[in-house]
Amino acid sequence: MYSIDKLLLENKAWAAEKTADDPEYFERLAHLQTPEFLWIGCSDSRVPANEITGTQPGEIFVHRNIANMVIHTDVNLLSVLEYAVVHLKVKHVIVCGHYGCGGIKASMGNHDYKQVLNMWLRNIKDVYRLYQEELDAIPDLELRADRLTELNVKEQVMHLAKTSIIQRAWFHEQRPQLHGWVYGLKDGIINPVFDMGSDTKIESLYAYDDL
């Protein structure tokens, strides 16, 4: 384990190494941010967006929360989404869950995590309810959690499509593509499970007419 001082020492070593490799590295990054991707991932420390996709600082705009949720009253998530889509003009938005997700497992149980976590996990329970028949039919709890992880990612991608932010960008600029992925902690492989693009027909109840 790293002590807090070790983190700062490692940071100095990293910065020195980067500068030695490429003297203009920080100068260049400081002036320009043009990521093509927005990543909405789980806060889990084992799923670092840049590392598992082989991307560098400057390439992915990142938002993370417990179980990679897209909640339509979450001002933090919506601000990140709006900035990434409207101002950075990202081409892709990726919701990336992961097998073995603690948030997903917690949502399947009955433990009282007290109010704030209960409130957050409640959103995942609501996803379970939508697919209850399919999920209840999977006897192995591990496999059931894995399937809920996939279905949750799909639901969160659909939540993105229900925002006027995405609908407006689709209508005017035919971007971004939305992707639902699930990362495997055991093998490091990303499983793409669901996609949506600007040609998607939005359920009429959620479609905005003043785009």
The distance of closest approach from Cβ of residue 168 to Co ion in the complex, given in angstroms and rounded to an integer, is 30
44 is known as an active-site residue: yes
87 is known as an active-site residue: no
Beta strands in the chain (DSSP E): 37-42, 60-65, 92-98, 177-183, 190-196
The CA–CA distances, whole Å, from 4 to 1, 8, 11, 190, 206 equal 10, 7, 11, 31, 47
Residues 6+ positions from 43 with CB-CB distance below 8 Å: 64, 65, 66
Q: Which of residues 99-118 bind Co ion (CB under 5 A)?
A: 101, 103
Contact 92, 176 (CB under 8 A): yes
Contact segment (CB under 5 A) with Co ion among 11-19, 95-103, 112-120, 135-143 equals 95-103
129 is known as an active-site residue: no
The distance of closest approach from Cβ of residue 42 to Co ion in the complex, given in angstroms and rounded to an integer, is 3
Q: Which of residues 37-56 bind Co ion (CB under 5 A)?
A: 42, 44
Characterize 41-70 residue by residue with b for buried, 16 or more Cβ atoms within 10 angstroms of its Cβ, and e for exposed: bbebeebebeebbeeeeebbbbbbbbbbbb
Q: Which of 46, 72, 122, 172 is catalytic?
A: 46
The distance of closest approach from Cβ of residue 44 to Co ion in the complex, given in angstroms and rounded to an integer, is 4
Beta strands in 66-148 (DSSP E): 92-98
Asked if residue 148 binds Co ion (CB under 5 A), the reply is: no
Q: Which of 63, 96, 98, 175 is catalytic?
A: 98
Nearer to Co ion, 35 or 103 (CB): 103
What binding mask, one character per residue, do residues 5-44 give for Co ion by CB under 5 A, x or -?
-------------------------------------x-x
98 is known as an active-site residue: yes
The distance of closest approach from Cβ of residue 135 to Co ion in the complex, given in angstroms and rounded to an integer, is 18
C-alpha 131/C-alpha 153 separation (Å) is 13
Site for Co ion, rule CB under 5 A: 42, 44, 101, 103
